[in-house]
Amino acid sequence: MLNYEKLSVIYFSPSGKTEKIVNEVAKNFSMNRESYNLLSFDDTKTFTDELVIIGVPVFDGRIPKLACERLSNLKSENTKAIVILNYGNLDYGDALLELVELLKENDFEIVGIATTVSQHPYFPEIAKNRPDMDDMKRINEFSQKVIEKLNSNTRNEIFVSGYKPYTPYKTPDFGVLCDEDLCVECMDCVYTCPEEAIPEDMPKKTSLDDCTRCSTCINVCSENARSFGGMNYAKEMETAILNNLERNEIEFFM
């Protein structure tokens, strides 16, 4: 019987898949739940004597820079963390090591990690419709293993792959486009863009120097006016599809 008063669910999830997965894990726990969406939550906080689930996606072999900054503000006092690293079936590069090191620095005790796979927002043919039913089964299997471990009070260090210095941050050569005929200037993208890359006075534009291509604006647009595109997009899509259609399965690190 788990003895925690509260479960905190912490995620960074521009296209919503990581959020879906952490919530699936959370369903396995009956405590009161509190959620922290790191696209908007930028406070400092210490989690004390708690259980947390932390989920972030992989951006170019790293954890997204903004997610890293916001996670750095979250500290633990005697708090255990269940960790989800969600990637688009390509490669998670150094992101797993980066996430583990960051959480350890902030004193979280990691009880289990799952690397999960979701449909890639740039290349929707890759990991299409994932997480799917098989993924959800495996995510619940992972959750049960974590519960067993928590109940048995087992403590161990979890070692993961990755290299330091971490691979440098990258921004793709392609951009985010707005179909000016479809855009109704509702401003949803302006107010949800975590990088403030869409100017309030010109919501049909995107400052590509500030934009990380995270896909929040595309996901939030009810008119489907926003999309990835521009120079190099078709070519990158072709190469990515050629190399990454084979299904990667969810891995557990306990």
Ligand X SMILES: Cc1cc2nc3c(=O)[nH]c(=O)nc-3n(C[C@H](O)[C@H](O)[C@H](O)COP(=O)(O)O)c2cc1C
- The binding site for ligand X (CB under 6 A) comprises 13-18, 57-61, 86-91, 93, 118, 120-121, 212-215
For the CB of residue 231, give the shortest distance to ligand X in the complex, in Å.
17
- Work out how close the CB of 37 gets to ligand X at its nearest, in angstroms, rounded to a whole number: 11
Rounded distance between C-alpha atoms, residue 72 and residue 83, angstroms: 15
Check if the beta carbon of residue 106 is closer than 8 Å to that of residue 76: yes
- Collapsing DSSP to helix, strand or coil, 133 comes out as helix
Name which of 81 and 150 has its Cβ closer to ligand X.
81
CB of 251 to ligand X, least distance (A): 13
Residue number, nearest CB to ligand X: 88
Question: Least distance in Å: CB of 237 to ligand X?
Answer: 13
**In the bound complex, what is the minimum distance in angstroms from residue 78's beta carbon to ligand X?**
28
In whole angstroms, give the CA distance from residue 95 to residue 161: 9
* Cβ nearer to ligand X, comparing 88 with 203: 88
| CB-neighbour burial class of residue 101 (10 A; exposed 0-12, middle 13-18, buried 19+) | middle
Task: Between 17 and 138, name the residue whose CB sits nearer to ligand X.
Answer: 17
Which pair of structure tokens corresponds to residue 163? 């290299």
Q: In terms of CB distance, is 16 or 175 closer to ligand X? A: 16
Structure tokens at 142: 């992972």
End-to-end CA distance of the chain: 20
Residues 6+ apart with CB under 8 A from 133: none
Q: Which is nearer to ligand X, 23 or 73 (CB)?
A: 23
Q: Are 122 and 228 in contact (CB under 8 A)?
A: yes
